[in-house]
Amino acid sequence: MNRFVRALLGASAMSLVAMPALAEKLTIATVNNGDMIRMQKLTEDFTKKNPGIELEWVTLEENVLRQKVTTDIATKGGQFDVMTIGTYEVPIWGKQGWLVSLNDLPASYDVDDLLPAIRGGLTVDGTLYAAPFYGESSMVMYRKDLMEKAGLSMPDAPTWEFIGKAARAMTDKEKEVYGICLRGKAGWGENMAFLSATANSFGAKWFDMDWKPQFNGEAWKNALTFYLDLMKDAGPPGASSNGFNENLALFQSGKCGMWIDATVAASFVTNPKDSSVADKVGFALAPDTGLGKRGNWLWAWSLAIPAGSQKVEAAKKFVDWATSKDYLALVAEKEGWANVPPGTRKSLYANPEYAKVPFAKMTLDSINSADPNNPAVDKVPYVGVQFVAIPEFQGIATAVGQQFSAALAGTATAEQALANAQQLTERAMQKAGYIK
| 157 lies in the same domain as 269 | yes
283 in any annotated domain: yes
| 289 lies in the same domain as 333 | no
Q: What is the mean pLDDT of residues 174-183?
A: 98
338 in any annotated domain: yes
Beta strand 299-304 with 24-31: parallel, antiparallel or unpaired? unpaired
Lowest mean pLDDT among 11-25, 168-182, 384-398: 11-25
Domain hosting 183: range is: 138-297+373-431
Question: Measuring CA to CA, how many Å separate 278 from each of 32, 127, 223, 268, 298?
Answer: 22, 41, 31, 8, 25
| 143 lies in the same domain as 267 | yes
| 49 lies in the same domain as 104 | yes
DSSP state of 187: S
Domains held by the chain: number: 2
Q: How many residues comprise the chain?
A: 436
Percent of the chain residues topping a pLDDT of 70: 95
Percent of the chain residues topping a pLDDT of 90: 90
Last residue of a domain, one of 289, 322, 355: 355
Contact between residue 280 and residue 271 where contact means Cβ atoms under 8 Å apart: no
| 202 lies in the same domain as 316 | no
414 in any annotated domain: yes
DSSP, collapsed to helix, strand or coil, labels residue 98 as coil
| 161 lies in the same domain as 195 | yes
Q: What is the mean pLDDT of residues 180-192?
A: 97
C-alpha–C-alpha distance, residues 298 and 301, integer Å: 10
Encode pLDDT of 249-298 as tens digits.
999 999 999 999 999 999 999 999 999 999 999 999 999 999 999 999 99
DSSP assignment of 151-162 equals: T----SS-BHHH
Contact between residue 217 and residue 204 where contact means Cβ atoms under 8 Å apart: yes
| 317 lies in the same domain as 342 | yes
5 in any annotated domain: no
Q: What is the mean pLDDT of residues 121-132?
A: 95
Which pLDDT score, from 0 to 100, does residue 62 have? 87
322 in any annotated domain: yes
Contact between residue 287 and residue 163 where contact means Cβ atoms under 8 Å apart: yes
| 117 lies in the same domain as 249 | no
Chain mean pLDDT for the chain: 93
Query: Is the predicted pLDDT of residue 4 greater than 50, yes or no?
Result: no
368 in any annotated domain: no
In one letter, which amino acid is 13?
Answer: A
Last residue of a domain, one of 355, 386, 402: 355
| 288 lies in the same domain as 383 | yes
The sign of the CA dihedral 77, 402, 190, 207 is: negative
Which pLDDT score, from 0 to 100, does residue 21 have? 53
| 317 lies in the same domain as 389 | no
Encode pLDDT of 319-344 as tens digits.
999 999 999 999 999 999 999 999 99
Which pLDDT score, from 0 to 100, does residue 22 have? 65
50-55: which pairs have CB atoms within 8 A and are 24 or more residues apart?
Answer: 50/314, 50/317, 50/318, 50/321, 51/23, 52/21, 52/23, 52/24, 52/314, 53/23, 53/24, 53/25, 53/26, 53/314, 53/317, 53/318, 54/23, 54/24, 54/25, 54/26, 55/25, 55/26, 55/28, 55/318
pLDDT band at 63 (very low <50, low <70, confident <90, very high): confident
436 in any annotated domain: no
Q: What is the mean pLDDT of residues 9-23?
A: 48
Which pLDDT score, from 0 to 100, does residue 15 have? 42
Encode pLDDT of 83-109 as tens digits.
999 999 999 999 999 999 999 999 999
| 142 lies in the same domain as 126 | no
152 in any annotated domain: yes
Instruction: Locate the DSSP E strands across 292-361.
Output: 299-304
C-alpha–C-alpha distance, residues 3 and 89, integer Å: 62
| 47 lies in the same domain as 191 | no
CATH of the domain at 203: 3.40.190.10
Q: What is the mean pLDDT of residues 408-431?
A: 98
